[in-house]
Structure 1
């Protein structure tokens, strides 16, 4: 009789353990599953990513910027972040939105080019050219859409392309010649994208501004006009925050403000000798393709059998470093690119590359080594998931992608970033409580089983 009672108790205990085990598994699965499915407005968070092209990491330090200063108190600031190598608009923006190095996503220049035909397409004309952007790596817009979210791009590079036949739910593409510095239009653009959140239920929107890049090129980073455009950006940030409050989005909208690269002063005659590469090698004779009159970064394809001759000739040129693609530093993350030509030239900071004669008129530029402080850029973030008054250590821009995936609570595509680099700036992880509950139940089940066995 005693043995029978023990058997009944053991059976009941085993059933309880199995029930708890099933509960544990269910809780774990619920915690692990991203909540990309569409729910009520109050049940999920939205994300606005804003990029100010060419906003160097220290541009707000010599200008009165009360709204950006308030963001430091109300949100997160990184000391600076490092763009990928290349420090150019299209490659860097696509690294942010894919979390992949340039050699993986293959947007290897602002210009779309073909080394076989010598085709060269200017930056703004590439923005709708899917063949330049669609190289097998999915940007965040498409990844989010595939998990049930609704996404949009306003002027953001890459937003106007198709990816394996998929388009961003809504894309506004900047036209060539469109002015970038109209403050009234800037506010209208904010009104537009915030209405997409509040009235049309969008989950992710990316918004791009072409300043302070343009004024940095035209006037130089130390010019008063650059300081004026930073004050305009600051007013725009204030307008953004007021608009978020007016629309009742404060509890639902996370905002990241960043950039793509910095800017440096171009060293020009009569103070220094500018680089003219044709002084050191006959480009017509030795090269079959080149993009050299484009800031601090150049690429070229030597004629068959002439690569070593080209490398040796350029090694004698001052104020630059020349690399064969195979010998580039691994930290560049460019060598595996199928598109990158065999020879890469990186000018010293502030020296522009000229091919046959001096044609460059810019007072400021980028495209230089991403380790240079003048190439570093800003990062600010605020919203319900971000800590307040938090200063982050520097990190690479490639790590923004997994952060955005966490904020949207979606599964990331394979990427080169790490959430560990940014998780400290979050108040909590979305699944932390559920995972803790699952862990506690699993522990309880384990203890119960051990008790029954003993």
Structure 2
């Protein structure tokens, strides 16, 4: 029995090609990170979402993910893009503040303030750029700042008053981002949408308008997938869709006592700085020598827990922060903090303990590097950063996450499926050729 030498050479060449790993720079996959602010983990379960459902079949999803403490927009997004706990990256609130000068800057006005974001921890954009990749950010918190003097290659920052629910702009932004990937060879783009957070705050998570905005989000997911195909990016672009926190109903009923902290202590006399009218999370600097008196007084208030900073549970990953004031106050789920007067108008909010299911959020992903129709167990959002570094094939900065938490989401070794005959099939052909020759 003799095998034709030409066939033997062809088969052996096939074996070598199939077992050769992807090395060339042009084989690097691109990555789009999409965040829908305030998308609670179960928001798609009471709404018809055909595009999200199909995306789960074509990719992977987690049952839910746990955001960091704090469950606020800026701290949570910065954990995702740096892989660091809040006590490490020091973006400890949506508001920029200074406890000495009493400076307080609203959220959207902080987005270009590098002094708030640049605390020694490098976000993924800069790490990727330092390793030869092109990056961009569209409205993503932290993208508008500079880090050690270096800015993100291309940035759009939402201005104060910018509408978050304009579906025409949503589509335009997707078209723009797809052209950056396909025509300008960008490798990483982060794309932020301000919904369903706004609707959740204004109407509450159970309102019909929240369901309406989820349907709008599902439509834009369908548009995104169509745009990926139009730009011939299906084989080169990985997409991660996630969020920063969930949302809960604020208990505004006549039988529920509002938390007004000035009932329990004289804030003017005992505190030199506070942010207490901002949902379920508050911070406070006592006047010299008054720390224990403040703690004792606040311990008598209902529906909240008060911590000295150095006594915060280690699992919160907040206690080592140098920027946080000495006292941290956290309301029970659904209760909002008021300092002196009831000025709070939201019907839904976040900022509560990240162990609460209402604070959990979503994770979906698809693309050539991800498995199909795979549901993973829950994991912490801190682990998204090393996953993104693996997808981009770059060396990460020091971080608190682990690639082991997300390894089951990927094809073996994170490499995409590859075309061509498998080793097993080639061996089968080889045996058959020997048998019948």
TM-score (norm 1): 0.86
SS in 2 for 1:429: helix
Structure 1 position 401 matched with structure 2 position 415: no
CA contact (8 A) 2:246 2:360 kept: yes
CA distance in 2, matches of 1:44, 1:245: 18
Deviation at 1:153, TM superposition (A): 0.3
Pairing 1:1-400 to 2, within 5 Å after superposition = 39-40=25-26, 43-400=27-384
Pairing 1:391-430 to 2, within 5 Å after superposition = 391-430=375-414
CA contact (8 A) 2:134 2:187 kept: yes
Deviation at 1:70, TM superposition (A): 0.5
Q: Structure 2 stretches of 5 or more lacking a match?
A: 1-19, 418-437
Deviation at 1:271, TM superposition (A): 3.0
Deviation at 1:431, TM superposition (A): 7.2
What's the Cα RMSD here? 1.5
CA contact (8 A) 1:47 1:254 kept: yes
CA distance in 2, matches of 1:114, 1:317: 26
CA contact (8 A) 2:368 2:416 kept: no
SS in 2 for 1:289: strand
SS in 2 for 1:323: strand
Cα 1:323–1:94, aligned 2, differ >3 Å: closer, same or farther? same
SS in 1 for 2:61: strand
SS in 2 for 1:377: coil
Cα 1:340–1:414, aligned 2, differ >3 Å: closer, same or farther? same
Aligned to 1:16: none
TM-score (norm 2): 0.90
Deviation at 1:429, TM superposition (A): 1.6
SS in 2 for 1:362: coil
CA deviations on 1:399-454 (whole Å, 9 max, x unpaired) are 00000000000001000000000010001225799xxxxxxxxxxxxxxxxxxxxx
Cα 1:430–1:394, aligned 2, differ >3 Å: closer, same or farther? closer
**Which of structures 1 and 2 has the bigger CA Rg?**
1
Q: Structure 1 stretches of 5 or more lacking a match?
A: 1-29, 434-454
Deviation at 1:44, TM superposition (A): 1.4
CA contact (8 A) 1:409 1:430 kept: no
CA deviations on 1:348-382 (whole Å, 9 max, x unpaired) are 00000000010000000000000000000000000
Give the number of aligned pairs.
398
CA contact (8 A) 1:84 1:397 kept: yes
CA distance in 2, matches of 1:428, 1:244: 24
CA distance in 2, matches of 1:234, 1:105: 32
CA distance in 2, matches of 1:200, 1:110: 33
SS in 1 for 2:364: strand
CA contact (8 A) 1:54 1:212 kept: yes
